[in-house]
Amino acid sequence: MQKRKLAETALQKRETINQTQLGIKAAFNLTWETLDTQTQYLGAFLSLFSPQFILWDLVVEVIEFEVENKEKQLIWTKEELTTSKKRLYQVNFLQTGQESPEAYTIHNLVRLFLQEQLAEVGEKQLILERTFITFMIFVARILPQSPTSQDIENFQLVVVHWEDLGKRLIDEINQETAAKNNLPVSMVADEILWVFEGLGRFYQGQGLYQVAEF
């Protein structure tokens, strides 16, 4: 009898949580519909970054790198980016980080929602993912084999995004989603190892050999 009551209580809690999550998602959807297309694309793009620390200058650098090296598939000016960023902040999809006024965070529930929206933008998803991963691979490639303390300091702001990307890739491989072509930026799958190589070099440069072997 006691076990049955515990099971019923657990079920009720799950149902309450599910209802709450549905309510939150509905609220997110309503907010999403008020955003212009450019701002929606930026929100989806930001879901690729680690939500814990998004330095705005880094976001701009990633996009400008794409413009310089590709066929300008992302047409964003700095003014448009700033306007969209402010709009995302106004609707609480972005929050100001504590470490810097130019760094932002994204709540985990918001990020999950933005990731869902990323999957709904059609061909733009591939462009956004490629833009992100191409820059991350480029930076990983230029990290020296034996980084100095100055190198460690310079690359510190990128490492959190390498870590997040690496974990997501591992999770998706473990879930066998790669076979369904859901692996982020699968077009550069052969080069994605550079992300892990970069992490290994970074942590070994700090003397954190156990972390580097994750």
Q: E strands along the chain, which residues?
A: 54-55, 95-96, 103-105
**43 to 40, 76, 87, 125: CA distances (angstroms):** 5, 13, 10, 12
* Structure tokens belonging to residue 178: 């790669």
Could you give the CA distance from residue 211 to residue 214 in angstroms, rounded to a whole number? Answer: 6
Angle at 199 between CA 145 and CA 102, to 5 degrees: 115
pLDDT at 166: 75
Which amino acid would we find at residue 165? L
Give the alpha-carbon dihedral of 107, 108, 109, 115, to 10 degrees: 110
pTM score of the predicted model: 0.73
Q: What is the pLDDT along the chain (214 residues), one digit of tens a residue?
A: 544 444 445 444 444 546 666 778 888 999 999 999 999 999 999 999 999 889 999 999 898 886 555 555 667 888 999 999 999 999 999 999 776 778 999 999 999 999 999 999 888 898 898 888 888 888 877 766 666 666 666 667 777 887 787 777 766 655 554 455 555 544 445 555 555 555 555 455 455 444 444 4
